[in-house]
Homo-oligomer: A and B are copies of this chain.
Amino acid sequence: MRAIVYKKPNRVAVETVPDPELELPTDAIVRITSAGICGSDLHMYEGRTPDSDGMRFGHENMGVVESIGTAVLNIKVGDRVVMPFNVACGSCFNCARGYTNACLVVNPDGVSGGYGYSGMGPYAGGQAERLRVPFADFNCLKLPGQPGDDFEDDFLLLSDVFPTGYHAAVLAGVEPGDSVAVFGAGPVGLLAAYSSLLRGAAEVYVVDGIRERLARAQEIGAIPIDYNRGEPCKQIQKMRSENHFIQGAQRPGENKMSGVMCGIDAVGYQARSFDDPKQENPIQVIEELVHVVNPTGRIGIVGVYFAEDPGGADKSAKHGQFRLPLGDIFEKGLTIGTGQTPVKKYNAYLRDLIIAGRAKPSFIVSHRLTLEEAPAAYEKFDQRSDGYTKVILKPEVSSIS
């Protein structure tokens, strides 16, 4: 079959590789109809992770069940399914509590498994014609309809970015009537804002420096904040203070609460400086969040931070250590949630919102391409050129008009 294979830094190729096979009776083989390219694939693409040579990329996978092992009971051949990016056993202490992002069984080297990802176990990725899915009963989410229907791209996003945006809102404790500030308007940031609104937030501010992204935020009902126009925290507080409705609603002391109750970091360790976008400044987003979130508030961090980052700016950064405003955090009594998304905790609910027509996350998709177009797409996506923000590959298609 054809698959995307990592060759060397800044180079992937489409190659013919052996078809995946059922290795355990709990496995299934899925014929891929859609596979996303994720921002986190670029870490590997740029050669900043070890042991990627010859790796098949792709952790956002969806398709049709082609064969199943003898112990697979819940799904059958022909089922349309989407898989969480996490590979999880379903039985260990962490999986049984819903923490499929920390499965103790599937990854000999750590507490988290994934398809086609460095350090996340021996699982080939799905930017290919077929994918082996371990523990298929547990890891396949059944879908209605037919491949290529109106929901194809929405459903594909159930594999990672929609649940990850939603997880950000959960970590930040977004409840109906809350106010939210999301830093970063890439796919995850936009879907964090979108999910915050789904969860009933009253006001959602989205901070970014790129006009197109901010326009997208506004289209979904969020309030765009351009960091090129001044410190985001101050812009948000000013808007909330000037808003005659909010202001009029204040009791004494509510000027002490002129920020928001919930903050989301959808940027992570490669954040650009607000002042000089050519510089990385991995601290600034969290500093701003701590300023803009009100006392008793909550912060959710889904932008990635690594414990080891050879490309870090200094010795501390190389070990994932950053200077954080702990004094402010403590005085405000903030709660901070972090980490990878346990996709299975959310994907059935988000699927049902898509089916019912109440969620349409595919607004973030910028490109739909064939497998053969993937190498060029990686290059452009890595440079964020030509509007490449979210690419979905269609392995069954030989040309897309």
Contacts and interface: CB of A to CB of B under 8 A. Distances in A.
B105 A252 contact: yes
A334 interface: yes
B75 A251 contact: yes
B96 A144 contact: no
A246 B356 CA distance: 9
A254 B319 contact: no
A101 interface: yes
Contacts of A301: 330
Interface residues of A, number: 104
- Copies of this chain, how many? 4
A305 interface: yes
Q: Which of A135, A200, A320 has the most CB of B within 10 A?
A: A200
A272 interface: no
A71 B355 CA distance: 34
Given A74-B89, A104-B254, A105-B73, A339 B332 contact: yes
Interface in A340-390: 340, 344, 346, 348-353, 355-356, 358
Q: Which 3 A-B pairs have the closest CB atoms?
A: A320-B327, A333-B339, A177-B349
Given A90-B137, A143-B248, A143-B249, 19 more contacts: A24-B71, A26-B26, A73-B252, A90-B90, A93-B251, A93-B257, A93-B348, A103-B253, A104-B251, A104-B256, A144-B248, A145-B244, A178-B349, A199-B200, A200-B200, A245-B355, A321-B325, A332-B339, A335-B335
Interface of A: 24-26, 69-71, 73-75, 80, 89-94, 96-99, 101-105, 110-111, 135, 137-138, 142-145, 166, 171, 175-179, 198-200, 202-203, 244-254, 256-257, 269, 286, 295-296, 301, 304-309, 316, 319-340, 344, 346, 348-353, 355-356, 358
